[in-house]
Amino acid sequence: MTRLAFENIACFRGGRLLFEGLNLALAPGEGMLVTGANGVGKSSLLRIAAGLLAPAAGRVMRDGDVALAAEAPALDEDQTLFAALAFWARLDGGDDQAVAMALAAMGLAQLAPVPVRLLSTGQRRRVTLARVIASKAGIWLLDEPASGLDMASLNELAAAMAGHLAAGGVVLAASHQPLGLAMREIGL
Amino acid sequence: MSPFARLVRRDLTRAFAHGGAWLPLVFYLLVATLFPFAIGPDAALLAKVGSGALWTAALLAALLPVERLVRPDLASGVLDQLAVRGHSDEGIAAAKLTAHWLSFGPLLMVATVPAAALLNLDGATLERLEIGLLLGTPGLAALGLAVAALTAGLRSTGALIGLVMLPLAVPLLIFGAAPGAGALKLLAATSLLFVAGAPFVAGAALRAGRT
């Protein structure tokens, strides 16, 4: 059973209290969209959910593996897209087939033999989403997943998220744009 | 393949991409070539200072790869992705230490053979030097990794790395260049201490860098 819950979370960054008393609970198949102005703490919220950042107060409960699509692509520039993604997929216990399926899901199949350094910003963003798909993790944490994506990619993202939720996964996304999927919203 | 082996293989591939791992080797040989030019063609004198000169060259060569050990992975988010997957920071540091030594220790030992010839070192001195490097380079690699992790979040680190690392490497230099079996044992002990401590120092630095 995949779950993610925040209990009375407070976040303190750079001498500033970003938010406090935050509660949320995501049951299997539930998604949530975090909205708010720049610098309000959306990325910090996702980093707390991922366990990368310790909250100043409160408790995070996670049932299931976590996959994070953050701003940084975390890909080796010299390798081909397929090899760079396969490194992560194999760390997650996946195989070449999982990589190929994830690439196809984000419309990147033709770019598989291209070196990562030649990819555009939007293509890199799609690769980070493909890594999340390939990870088979239950909890998806997506930081601005729609930024830089074209219409076709937005639809692929929405389809991937809908498929993940239908399979009992959990999605917590921070975004300025609508993601083309009906989700509860929480404003920071 | 275990995750540890995958991380080691990735770091090794990256170290040898674009010939990066060959740079310390070339630098080491270059410094070894400079000494005879500076000291003059006095074979006896060269043989006397040769062992110490090569240890100094090894120490300086060990500084070169430090900047690209941790910083690129921190900037590109690789360390975050590994942490999300539950890999311990100490484990990541241990994998990086293994890969770093593999990409630099054995190469330095091979390069010592021509370097010793340049300095007119005899067979016994060369053998002693190779044993010393085998024992000492893991310690140098450990120091390099710890310093790399500690300075990864800072902006310009070129000179800082040398200032932090060189004083700490003095025991390795003293015991490595000194004659006698006792010095080798102390060299091994110092190196072991650095190798044992570095994953924890570097792991703590990686963790502190995330907050």
The torsion region of residue A11 among left (phi > 0), alpha (psi -120 to 50) and beta comes to beta
Q: Which of residues 77-106 of B touch A (CB under 8 A)?
A: 77-78, 80-85
d(CA A143, CA A175): 7
* CA distance linking residue A125 with residue B9, whole number of Å: 26
Q: Which two tokens stand for residue A76?
A: 């080796």
Give the nearest chain A residue to B16 (CA atoms). A78
Contact across the interface for B76 and A72, Cβ inside 8 Å: yes
ipTM over 0.90: yes
The average pLDDT across A164-168 equals 92
For A2-24, the pLDDT digits (tens) are 889 999 999 988 888 988 899 99
Res. B134 pLDDT band, cuts 50 70 90? very high
pLDDT of residue A127: 93
Q: What is the mean pLDDT of residues B1-26?
A: 89
Distance CA A40, CA A187 (A): 10
User: Residues A28, A52, A61, B95: what is their CA dihedral angle, to the nearest 10 degrees?
Assistant: 90
A177 pLDDT tier (thresholds 50, 70, 90): confident
Q: Which two tokens stand for residue B61?
A: 């060569």
Report the pLDDT value the prediction gives residue B36, as an integer from 0 to 100: 87
Q: Which residues of B172-192 are buried (b: 16+ CB within 10 A; e: fewer)?
A: bbebbbbeeeebbebbbebbe
Q: Which residues pair with A22 in a beta bridge?
A: A9
CB contact under 8 A, A87 and B83: no
Question: According to the model, what pLDDT value does residue A188 have?
Answer: 80
Mean pLDDT calculated for residue range A124-140: 92
Q: What is the pLDDT of residue B159?
A: 83
Q: Provide, as residue numbers in chain A, all residues whose Cβ is less than 8 Å from the Cβ of B80.
A: 50, 52, 68, 70, 72, 74
Mean pLDDT confidence for A162-179 = 90
Contact residues of A toward B, CB < 8 A: 50-54, 65-68, 70-76, 78, 87-88, 90-92, 131
Q: What is the mean pLDDT of residues B67-74?
A: 91
Give pLDDT, residue B4.
Answer: 94
C-alpha to C-alpha distance for A171 and A24, rounded to whole angstroms:
12
Residue A130's CB is within 10 A of a number of other CB atoms, namely 26
Q: Is the pLDDT of residue B17 over 90?
A: no
Inform me whether the pLDDT recorded for B193 exceeds 80: yes
Between B112 and A185, the higher pLDDT residue: B112
Average pLDDT over residues B122-135: 93
Cβ neighbours of B83 in A, within 8 Å = 51-52
> Which residues of chain A are within 8 Å of residue B14 when distances are taken between CB atoms?
76, 78
Average pLDDT, chain B: 91
pLDDT band at B48 (very low <50, low <70, confident <90, very high): confident
Q: What is the mean pLDDT of residues B113-140?
A: 93
Q: Do B76 and A92 touch (CB under 8 A)?
A: no
pLDDT at B157: 78
pTM passes above 0.90: yes
Residue in B75, B85, B211 nearest the CB of A92: B85
Mean pLDDT value of segment A152-168: 92
Residue B209: its pLDDT value, please?
86
Q: Grade residue A38 by pLDDT with cuts at 50, 70 and 90.
A: confident
Shortest CA gap B97–chain A (Å): 19
Strands (E) located in B17-76: none
Pick from B6, B80, B211: CB nearest A70? B80
Number of A/B CB contacts below 8 angstroms equals: 48
Burial B113-135 (b: 16+ CB within 10 A, else e): eebbebbbbeeebbebbbebbbb
Segment A102-121 shows an average pLDDT of 92
- For the segment A24-53, the average pLDDT, to the nearest whole number, is 90
B18 contact residues in A (CB cutoff 8 A):
78
Q: Could you give the percent of chain B with pLDDT greater than 90?
A: 67
Of A73, A90, A131, which is closest to B76 when you measure between CB atoms? A73
Task: Find the range with the poorest average confidence among A75-84, A96-105, A128-137, B155-164.
Answer: B155-164
CA-nearest residue to B83 within chain A is: A52
Are the beta carbons of A74 and B81 separated by less than 8 Å? yes
- B105 vs B20, more confident: B105
Chain B residues inside the 8 Å CB shell of A66: 84
